[in-house]
Amino acid sequence: MEDNYEKAGKIAREVLEYGKSLIKKDTLLLDATNKIEAKIFELGAKPAFPVQISMDDIAAHYCAPPDDETVFSNQLVSLDVGVHVDGFIGDNACTIDLSGKNKELTEASRKALDNAIKITQIGTTLSEIGKTIQETIESYGFKPVKNLSGHGLDEYNIHSFPTVPNYDTEDDTKLEKGQIIAIEPFATKGVGLIHEKGLPNVFSINEIKPVRVPFVRQILNKIEEYNGLPFTKRWLGSSLPKVNLALNQFKKLKILKEYPPLVEKENGLVSQAEHTLKVDDKVKVLTL
């Protein structure tokens, strides 16, 4: 019988392919985002995190705010989609080059992912995966983004043990049977480091605390339905002023975690590729 990780992986892949078809010149990024998130529900899953469509030098964590007016033109677009079935997560990503000028950069992250999957098995060390990714990306003349990584996946937990590096960290930790991991190479024309820049539109709550204001409590009740998974403003109701007030309240209570966009330090273009794998006697790519 197909388990929930496998269901989530299949749906994540179907949604990613659907999303790719929406990313076209003269299309609104917000429209594409809403349609992709709707497709997740249509296929019987829920978002593991808000759909992220990051462009050019933004490596990750760009999520459309409710008033986003971005229009696709000639950007390098990374689409990151995660879904869950009863908390079990499938996570995958790809890059679409709307300019037609960055074929090798998009190929570098994709090939690094392919090569990393080929060597992955029970007992593979994290440094072996990182080294493979690094060498592949550098063979194209680019750099891996060193302070972004792949990760383990657990029930209602997007980033669990282990951290799967994108360069040779000399970490001799070995993969174990039964682990679910996401391998996620990022290739860049820049220096290979990212930093937080810009306003966050992805959040999570790390603790539930009592709040007095009724509409703030209603929004917190809504957030509790996500079971600790990240959310975005668009999910919290039509009154943006009330949502902003609630988020400010959660920030004062020190229970709000913010995820600002992650931008390449030298503003170099970034490409991304990602699959979710189950480490077993025969490794299975769940999002293939």
Residues annotated as catalytic are 80, 91, 151, 159, 184, 274
Locate tokens 């000399």: which residue? 170
Peptide bond into 162 cis (omega under 30): yes
Residue type, 222: K
- Which whole-number Å values give the CA distances from 70 to 37, 75, 106, 205, 281, in the listed order? 17, 11, 22, 28, 45
Order of strands across the sheet that contains 143-144: 143-144, 186-188, 270-272
Single out the residue of 160, 121, 80 nearest to residue 277, CA to CA: 121
Euclidean distance between CA atoms 90 and 60, whole angstroms:
17
CB 269 within 8 A of CB 57: yes
Locate tokens 């992955």: which residue? 120
Radius of gyration of the chain (CA): 19
Single out the residue of 21, 283, 58 nearest to residue 178, CA to CA: 283
CB 202 within 8 A of CB 65: no
Euclidean distance between CA atoms 66 and 243, whole angstroms:
11
Single out the residue of 193, 197, 254, 166 nearest to residue 54, CA to CA: 197
